[in-house]
Structure 1
Amino acid sequence: MANFEALAQFVSTNFRFPASSQWPSTHDELRLAGWLREQRRHQLRLAPERVTLLESLNNFEWRPHDDAWDRQLQRWIDFVNEHQREPMYAAPDIAETRIAAWAIRQRYLRRLRRLPKHRLDRLAETPSWHWL
């Protein structure tokens, strides 16, 4: 319970979840990031009360990397639907540039054969997506 309370305090103070990739990280943040990673890894084995506690935290995600990828795909779809074209990397709008950079990265990972199959399938199912 102490770890959860420390996590809740960290989130309310920093407006984000602890991450081992943040720099600079404190020892406490690294410890909390490790604890949180283990909770996510063992989600199916956690007591229901612990699952409820974690899910009570604002913006908590069980799969933060997959959820972030899904949000980027949705940004891509929304942009194409609104503008009837793909985002351009050299656009003056930074949001458009970020979406374009994400798409470039997905294509690059595919060429390297490092794009996971579930993501490859999601992109293949997206009507506005093409591999170039």
Structure 2
Amino acid sequence: MTGFSWDPHRDSWHLNWTLLRDFLEREHRLPRYRANDPSERELAAWVHKQRHLYRRGQLLPERLAALQQLPFRII
């Protein structure tokens, strides 16, 4: 992304969702905490955070819907 962002948190979330979607398409599995690749570990932490927010009832409905569109059961 380039330029000014009016909502950097939203943009960051969408970037992570896109990275996760691409990872799932490429690897056919969820990212792992114990991976050698730091970016995979970071993505695994992001997935864990989304699950945590979901369990606490704090995941926004549009984000839940986006996660449910992915080919793996995230939530």
Q: Compute the TM-score of the two structures, normalised by the length of structure 1.
A: 0.52
Partner amino acid for 1:97?
R
Quote how far apart the aligned CAs of 1:63 are: 1.5
The verdict on how the C-alpha distance between 1:84 and 1:64 changes in structure 2, with shifts beyond 3 A counting, is: same
Partner amino acid for 2:62?
H
- Stretches (4+) displaced over 4 A: none
Runs of 5+ unmatched residues, structure 2: none
Partner amino acid for 1:121?
A
Sequence identity percentage: 35
Deviations 1:46-65 (A, max 9, x none): xxxxxxxxxxxx52112111
Partner amino acid for 1:88?
R
Partner amino acid for 1:74?
T
Runs of 5+ unmatched residues, structure 1: 1-57
Q: Compute the TM-score of the two structures, normalised by the length of structure 2.
A: 0.88
With CA pairs under 8 Å and 6+ residues apart, which has the higher RCO, 1 or 2?
2
Alpha-carbon separation, structure 2, partners of 1:83 and 1:125: 17
Choose which of 107, 117, 122 in structure 1 pairs with 2:51. 107
Quote how far apart the aligned CAs of 1:130 are: 2.6
**SS of the residue aligned with 1:82?**
helix
RMSD: 1.2
Higher CA-based Rg:
1
